[in-house]
Amino acid sequence: MKKRTKSILIITILLLIAVLLVPFDIVHRSDGGTVIYNSATYSVTKLHEIKTMEHTDAATHETTTVYNDGWIIYVFGIKAYENIYETTVVGNGI
């Protein structure tokens, strides 16, 4: 194989790998901070969504917020990994 043909083949393979593996669509949802990364072969969701928010004490403006946190990974449209858990944050709204 000629040197030029070999170089073109390597560059083509690297470009194909980049197109398949580099995320081309990054979505920032306004549900508390969820980010979705999409590529041609996989989709990764970093979940951080507000599940519930309650004002627990009106005198101190204390708020209890429950989040769903975790990761969801799809490879070729099939769910490969899921780790979702609840996080409760109690804070002062002032």
> Tens digits of per-residue pLDDT, 30-60?
877 899 999 989 999 999 888 877 777 667 7
Task: Count H helices and E strands in the chain, helices first.
Answer: 1, 5
Asked, for residue 15, whether it belongs to a domain, the answer is no
- Cα angle 76-77-79, degrees, rounded to a multiple of 5: 105
Checking if the pLDDT of 90 tops 90, the result is no
Q: Count structural domains, the chain.
A: 1
DSSP-based three-state secondary structure for 88: strand
Asked, for residue 3, whether it belongs to a domain, the answer is no
DSSP 58: T
Residue range of the domain that includes 50: 23-92
Burial 76-87 (b: 16+ CB within 10 A, else e): eeeeeeeeeeee
Total Cβ atoms within 10 A of residue 66: 14
Question: Whole-prediction pTM value?
Answer: 0.73
